[in-house]
Amino acid sequence: CDWSSDVCSSDLAWDFISGRFADEAGVEVILVGDSLSMTIRGDENTLNITLDDMIYHSAMVAKAVKNPMLVGDMPFMSYQVSSKEALINAGKFVKEGKVEAVKIEGGSSMRKTVKRVVAAGIPVMGHIGLTPQSIHQMGGMKVQGKAVEDAKKIIEDAKILEDAGAFSIVLECLPAELAAKVSEMVDIPTIGIGAGINCDGQIQVTADVLGLLSDVAPRHAKKYVDLAGLTAKALHDYVKEVKSAEFPQDENTFTASEALKKFLADI
């Protein structure tokens, strides 16, 4: 990635096809995010997905990716128990999932873990603000850092992650002014999602960008196309044409040779 320019990130690619689309679109960083637990598996939150699940999806994405940096999202309880376990799991993610870096949620509490993983040669992307793996502690998906004391903690956490060796930090659901100040106070890139225009890069969930889930419309997202509607119509038309014998037509059919036609007619 050219970190000197604005970074465009995609969270998430989840298989070979979505990875190829993100690559060809010029996305610079692809995060295989644990939010696929919700968008692909239909879970209520991100807590149920396992490291093996994440490795399965990231390995598929890796086959399609030529240019972007591929980052794997460390799932819930794959790094919180100890820095040693976090390192083992991050190493497995790199070896089997073919990712080039991992993302870890949390600030000061993750200082030792980030340091240990980075020291082993595995780049770490930090993540502060709204951290979905702490959804029960936070009382839901809520904007963070609105109070002065909370804002101070977020700024402190950003500096701690930078000092620990993180190469970038995701800032999720923060007041735009706070995200701008964090971006100003650290030298590593900040990547915003619901954190305003003044971060160094932006990240969005691909399913939101494509409008794949018609009943989900996060405030921080922009739907660039209604794929849910287009897909529903396409499948409806397909079913209708099959039932009415409009499909398949001659152009969708393979024709037998004259010899095969004669053989079939004679039996």
| Residues with catalytic roles | 172
- As a whole number of angstroms, the distance between CA 110 and CA 34 comes to 18
Report the candidate in 57, 9, 63, 51 with the shortest Cα–Cα distance to residue 36. 57
Q: Is residue 43 a contact partner of residue 89, using CB atoms and an 8 Å limit?
A: no
> How far apart, in Å, are the Cα atoms of 38 and each of 73, 208, 229?
14, 12, 19
The structure tokens 């009943």 sit at 215
- As a whole number of angstroms, the distance between CA 193 and CA 140 comes to 16
Q: Is residue 140 a contact partner of residue 134, using CB atoms and an 8 Å limit?
A: no
Report the candidate in 79, 71, 59 with the shortest Cα–Cα distance to residue 100. 71
Which residues have CB under 8 Å from 113's CB, separation 6+? 79, 83, 86, 104
